[in-house]
Amino acid sequence: MRNFYFTYLDMINLTDALTNISRDNDWDDILIGAKILNLWPKLFAAQSGNIASVNKFENGTLYLKARSSSWKTEIRLRSEELIDQLNFGLGRKCVLKIEIRN
């Protein structure tokens, strides 16, 4: 029987452990997508329900459905700003691109 023991140096905090588990199991996109759903309405404040909805987040791309072609254009013009705001809110660079459909 092997004798296992851990030293203080072997231990990691809970945040690091959960991050490792989510990364190792390819849950990152799911967790980031959930955070984006929470952040998205705050970007457009009260108008968010009338502008666009989040369809999915996958491989660094945020897929949105615009309510109209004019909002599609607005989002496209502001995409770099929105990406920066989302990444700031997420605490790391996760969103690389925004795809918009209407």
The Cα 38–Cα 43 span in angstroms is: 10
Per-residue model confidence (pLDDT) at position 49: 56
Q: Distance (Å, rounded) from C-alpha 13 to C-alpha 69?
A: 46
How does the average pLDDT of the chain come out, rounded? 81
pLDDT at 21: 78
Report CA-CA distances (Å) from 90 to 62, 64, 68, 69: 13, 18, 27, 28
Q: Which residue stretches of the chain have pLDDT < 50?
A: 48
Tell me the residue length of the chain.
Answer: 102
What pLDDT score does 50 carry? 66
pLDDT of residue 34: 86
What's the confidence (pLDDT) of residue 4? 58
